[in-house]
């Protein structure tokens, strides 16, 4: 897929490649691995492949972040000022947790979700939003659909509480009444959550920051736009 930040990401990798060439490192972008806010590059040390590097760009903060978890080279991680395994990607999910996301591509909306029990994935779902009334909300309708699916799953399986991780503020704000629900979609969403009987602990995370499960549901939601 094309990325609106492709030139910036490419320039950052080229700059990194040039600055570390004297130490034997080189990076080659995998052209089929572009995402909206990230790109993957194959890494080499003295001509030998040592793994893959991910580069993320956060447009709200205008900052870049490297992820070298798949590279067994502590020197490179140190040179890039990256902790080999960051806390954000190694969250300890004790109890029941869910990650949700939505996506809008070429006029189609998809949703994705994953449910974890004590760090183990026990359920995932992906699909599309087909109600024409909701499509104007674009990816937001996918995110709200994903939350609804999580709550339905909890009710079906006898769970009364769950922690939901999300990256769009409205997910929580409409549900708890901090934002006034003005559209039919958000009104129905807020009412559904309030009357569900499920106690939700809301946890906002930074989008496209390298969090494993956030990336996972982002890919599921994009897949949902294909259905």
pLDDT at 213 over 80: yes
Residue whose token pair is 């590097």: 53
pLDDT tens readout for residues 141-181: 999 999 999 999 999 999 999 999 999 999 999 999 999 99
Q: How many CA atoms lie within 13 A of 177 on its CB side?
A: 2
The reported pLDDT for the residue numbered 86 is 41
Q: How far is CA 180 from CA 117, 161, 184, 187, in A?
A: 33, 24, 12, 8
Let me know if domain 96-224 sits in CATH 3.40.50.280: no
DSSP readout, 117-152?
Answer: ETTEEEEEEEEEE--TTTGGGTHHHHHHHHHHHHHH
Q: What is the predicted pLDDT for the residue at 89?
A: 46
In which band, very low, low, confident or very high, does the pLDDT at 210 lie, cut at 50, 70 and 90? low
Report the pLDDT value the prediction gives residue 85, as an integer from 0 to 100: 38
**90, 124 contact by CB (below 8 A):** no
Q: Which two tokens stand for residue 177?
A: 């009444």
Q: What mean pLDDT do residues 44-63 have?
A: 85
| Intervals of CATH 3.30.420.10 along the chain | 96-224
Whether residue 5 is predicted with pLDDT greater than 90 in this model: the reply is: no
pLDDT at 62: 80
Q: State the pLDDT at residue 209.
A: 65
How do residues 100-156 score in pLDDT, each as one tens digit? Answer: 999 999 889 999 999 999 888 999 999 999 888 888 889 999 999 999 999 999 999
Of 47 and 86, the one with more pLDDT: 47
Percent pLDDT > 90 in the chain is 58
Dist. CA 40–CA 164, nearest whole Å: 28
């Amino acid at each position: 897929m094309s990325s609106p930040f492709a030139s910036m990401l490419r320039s950052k990798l080229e700059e990194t490649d040039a600055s570390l060439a004297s130490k034997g490192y080189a990076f080659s972008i995998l052209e089929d691995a572009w995402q909206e806010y990230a790109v993957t590059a194959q890494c080499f040390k003295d001509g030998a492949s040592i793994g893959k590097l991910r580069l993320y760009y956060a447009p709200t903060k205008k900052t870049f972040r490297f992820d070298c978890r798949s590279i067994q080279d502590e020197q490179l991680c140190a040179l890039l000022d990256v902790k080999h395994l960051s806390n954000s990607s190694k969250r300890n999910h004790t109890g029941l947790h869910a990650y949700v996301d939505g996506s809008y591509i070429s006029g189609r909306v998809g949703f994705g979700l994953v449910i974890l029990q004590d760090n183990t994935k026990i359920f995932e779902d992906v699909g599309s939003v087909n109600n024409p009334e909701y499509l104007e909300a674009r990816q937001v309708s996918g995110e709200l659909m994903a939350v609804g699916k999580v709550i339905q799953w909890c009710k079906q399986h006898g769970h009364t509480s769950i922690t939901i991780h999300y990256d769009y503020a409205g997910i929580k704000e409409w549900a708890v009444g901090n934002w006034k629900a003005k559209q039919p979609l958000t009104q129905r969403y807020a009412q559904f959550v309030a009357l569900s009987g499920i106690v939700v602990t809301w946890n906002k995370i930074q989008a496209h920051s390298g969090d494993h499960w956030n990336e996972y549901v982002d890919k599921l939601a994009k897949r949902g736009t294909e259905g």
